[in-house]
Amino acid sequence: MILYNRIKAQFSSDKNLIISLRNIFGFWPENIALYKLALIHRSAATEQSGHKISNERLEYLGDAVLSSIVADYLFKKFPYREEGFLTEMRSKIVSREQLNKLALKLGIDHFIISTQDSKTYFRSMPGDAFEALIGAIYLDKGYIFTRKMVINRIINVHFDIDDLEKLENNFKSKLIEWAQKEHKEIKFNVVAEVGSGNRKQYFVEITIDEKLYATGCDFSIKGAEKNAAEKTFIQLQLDKTSEN
């Protein structure tokens, strides 16, 4: 009877998750194990065969897939705009701040498995889980399906591209302004260059009063600085401060 009750409870839990994912993304998941894994934050990671099991690998994959889809979408939507504009628009859509807001709006935070304390300390948790779910969808359904879903159910529904064009999203200037106000020394240092030609990637570190806060990566130094600045901005919880 105990085993039966456990199986029944697990089935009920999986069924509820499947229905919720259907309501959020508009399709029925097939490999539910992928989606369950996408919702396990590293603070609640379990160990299996000597490896920590959490959503970090799926987050990494989802980040790459989402960035690719958004880049392709913008490339086709704005056929005559320069690379800098496209990069800036992509950054606005896939920024941690935007993905956190989107994940909360979709209710994804209600399904994340984590320790209680982590919900306070890991402010990027909802956005990370969203990216992990994109990774799960990609593995479950393939790239073409995922691309169509992201454009039709996410970008077209939850993002106003015209408003995003006008949105000031320069985390670097905001961070510098904050540092000046707080009398702190902030530095942006290019620490590595990988690749060559148009595929060269730049890595920029941000230090505040000689303490390393974040590393950003992009195909331009400016983009890498913005990426690192956004990470630092969120790490310092300045996004929360600026909203109040």
Domains of the chain (ranges, CATH numbers): 2-166 (1.10.1520.10), 171-243 (3.30.160.20)
Confidence of residue 167 (pLDDT cuts 50, 70, 90): low
Higher pLDDT, 63 or 200: 63
Q: Would you name the residues annotated as active-site residues?
A: 63, 131
**Would you state the pLDDT for residue 74?**
95
Torsion from C-alpha of 125, 131, 137, 139, nearest 10 degrees:
-110
The predicted pLDDT at position 96 comes to: 80
Mean pLDDT computed over every residue of the chain:
84
pLDDT at 191 (0 to 100): 92
pTM for the predicted model, two decimal places: 0.67
Instruction: Band the pLDDT of 151: cuts 50, 70, 90.
Output: very high
Overall average pLDDT of the 168-189 stretch: 85
When pLDDT is averaged across residues 71-80 and rounded to a whole number, the result is 93
* pLDDT (mean) for 39-68: 87
pLDDT confidence of residue 106? 95
Percentage of residues of the chain with pLDDT beyond 90: 48
